[in-house]
Structure 1
Amino acid sequence: MIVSPEEIRLRLPHIELAAQAYGPADGSPVIALHGWLDNAATFARLAPKLQGLRIIAVDFAGHGYSQHRPPGGGYALWDYVHDVLLVAEQLGWPRFSLLGHSLGAIVSVLLAATFPERVRRLALIDGLIPPTVEADAAVATLAEALRGRLTLATKRKPVYPSLERAAQVRQRGVGHVSFAAAQLLAQRGLMPVAGGLTWRTDSRLTLATPLRLTAAQAQAFVSALSCPATLVLAEHGLLVQRDGLDTLLAQAAINIERLPGGHHLHLDDEQGAQLVADCFNPFLSAP
């Protein structure tokens, strides 16, 4: 079931973000955060199935209808965390739950760990910690990122003749989404240009990350979680492919729900969305 959410704008001190609102105004507050290169439409199937919640699904900076960071800026994880805190301030929500998919789940974990007094519950979909590197790889990681920045001006975004063609390309991208899911993401993620359509996303989002957490640092954030947390693991998702996942989860106080489907199981089809909703409805509505 796909409904038409309310489109809202969130004017933060440093940037304006777009968002979609679902549910009753007096529902339990939830901020929903999407994955890398996706947008708020990733919750189009799931959000209508979550009951009694006021869900604000945000387009991260540089994604969807949100503004891009200013010239010279970047897209570090902690900048997203800061954005979400300011979104909560603007909404007047001293405490709220977080619903995050992939990158959105990672940002949710960082926020919940560092500001435990703000986060009531943590609902995660196929995401937990960012890719990590050990300390001796930091030099090469930074060098790769800076080389990418130097050549960014010469790169051009692809142009597609139709939304359907763009959706076909997105279908084969990160997470291998269904064509129906790719269409939903493309409808919010494309803009008209000469010759057709191209992605709204900021080209800087495709650059390598200049500084990554070590595995020990990532573990510290997971270990610091104090709110109730449920993680949906997709049987054919990206998270199950991570080395050391079982060890990490064994040391974390996180409820694990293993479901069939891929990385975008909450968006690929109605059945997958319902399975995720069945996990999160009792969890997010609990006192």
Structure 2
Amino acid sequence: MSAHVEEIRLNLPHIELAAHLYGPEDGQPVIALHGWLDNAASFARLAPRLPGLRIVALDFAGHGHSAHRAPGAGYLLWDYALDVLLVAEQLGWDRFALLGHSMGAIVSVMLAGAMPDRVSRLALIDGLMPYTGEADQAPTKLGEALLAQLALAAKRKPVYAAIDRAVEARMKGVGAVSREAAELLAQRGLMPVAGGYTWRTDSRLTLPSPLRLTRAHALAFARSLKCPALLVLAEHGLLQTEPKFVELLDGLPLDVRRLPGKHHLHLDDEAGAQAVADCFNPFFAAP
């Protein structure tokens, strides 16, 4: 399924972000947020199936065609949340919905929990809370992160002789995807270099986090949600492997739908995209 999509640039005070724009100008405002190491093409199959919405599908900073953060800066979840809020400010959207997949869903929950007056509803795909770390692990984890940053200058991105090789690598990456999904992500995510192609993503995105929220912190954001929230879970997605995740859902203020498919069920094939759309269309149409 195809629909008109416009490429736009958003000049924030500290960085320039790229995005795909879908839907009518008077549509319900929605900011769509992709997963880690993906890009705006993550919504290429789903967005055209959500009529009546004005969807701005961002390339997060360091991903796709968006700029990389300045030297010395990092890619923490709350930095992404600020970027999203600044995008809404630039668009003139006082209130807006968030459509998030994986890491994009995590950022969505954090922003909605922190700024309940700004977020009208949450549509989440196989993502909810970040990986957590308890206080006693913090010194060790920070040490590992600092060493990784020191070693980054000596690391080199992989170079693929042909686009097909990059597509095959992405199919086997974190949250393995179908070939068609990998091709869509590669169209936006690859750039030519000497010897072939490499990913546009900032190498710093693969660094370990210097600080993680505790489980109590992460749950506090999810429990603070005030807007309507719907989580679509993939039967073979990443969240199903999290220990005690199902028990956590019982006490959270959101509706949950389970669908066949893997972590990228909204992108892997047309049937998956339609199934996700069939969940979200009534949700967005509700008063």
| TM-score bracket for the superposition, by shorter chain length | over 0.9
Once the two structures are TM-superposed, the CA of residue 165 in structure 1 deviates from its matched residue by: 1.2
Cα distance in 2 for residues equivalent to 1:5 and 1:209 = 34
Cα distance in 2 for residues equivalent to 1:262 and 1:86 = 32
Q: Does 1:213 align with 2:213?
A: yes
1:236 corresponding residue in structure 2: 236
Do the aligned partners of 1:5 and 1:21 also contact (CA within 8 Å) in 2?
Answer: yes
Cα distance in 1 for residues equivalent to 2:149 and 2:248 = 33
User: Would you identify which runs of 4 or more consecutive aligned residues in structure 1 move more than 2 Å?
Assistant: none
| Count of aligned residue pairs for this structure pair | 287
Pairing 1:21-32 to 2, within 5 Å after superposition: 21-32=21-32
Identity, % of aligned positions: 69
Q: Does 1:279 align with 2:273?
A: no
Once the two structures are TM-superposed, the CA of residue 135 in structure 1 deviates from its matched residue by: 1.1
1:158-185 residue CA offsets vs partner (Å, 9 max, x unmatched): 1111221101000000111001000000
1:222 corresponding residue in structure 2: 222
Once the two structures are TM-superposed, the CA of residue 246 in structure 1 deviates from its matched residue by: 1.8
Once the two structures are TM-superposed, the CA of residue 247 in structure 1 deviates from its matched residue by: 2.4
AA of the residue aligned to 1:123? A
Q: Does 1:84 align with 2:84?
A: yes
1:260 corresponding residue in structure 2: 260
Cα distance in 1 for residues equivalent to 2:9 and 2:169 = 29
Once the two structures are TM-superposed, the CA of residue 4 in structure 1 deviates from its matched residue by: 4.6
Q: Unaligned regions of 5+ residues in structure 2, if any?
A: none
1:16-70 residue CA offsets vs partner (Å, 9 max, x unmatched): 0000001111100000000000000000000000010000000000000000000
Cα distance in 2 for residues equivalent to 1:159 and 1:229 = 40
Do the aligned partners of 1:28 and 1:285 also contact (CA within 8 Å) in 2?
Answer: no
Larger displacement relative to structure 2 (127-136 or 246-255): 246-255
TM-score by length of 2: 0.99
Once the two structures are TM-superposed, the CA of residue 3 in structure 1 deviates from its matched residue by: 3.3
1:181 corresponding residue in structure 2: 181
- SS where residue 137 of structure 2 aligns? helix
1:125-176 residue CA offsets vs partner (Å, 9 max, x unmatched): 0000000011111111111111100100000001111221101000000111
TM-score by length of 1: 0.99
Once the two structures are TM-superposed, the CA of residue 245 in structure 1 deviates from its matched residue by: 0.9
Cα distance in 2 for residues equivalent to 1:259 and 1:174 = 20
2:56 corresponding residue in structure 1: 56
Cα distance in 2 for residues equivalent to 1:133 and 1:243 = 14
- SS where residue 149 of structure 1 aligns? helix
Pairing 1:1-287 to 2, within 5 Å after superposition: 1-287=1-287
Do the aligned partners of 1:163 and 1:187 also contact (CA within 8 Å) in 2?
Answer: no
AA of the residue aligned to 2:125? I
Once the two structures are TM-superposed, the CA of residue 251 in structure 1 deviates from its matched residue by: 1.1
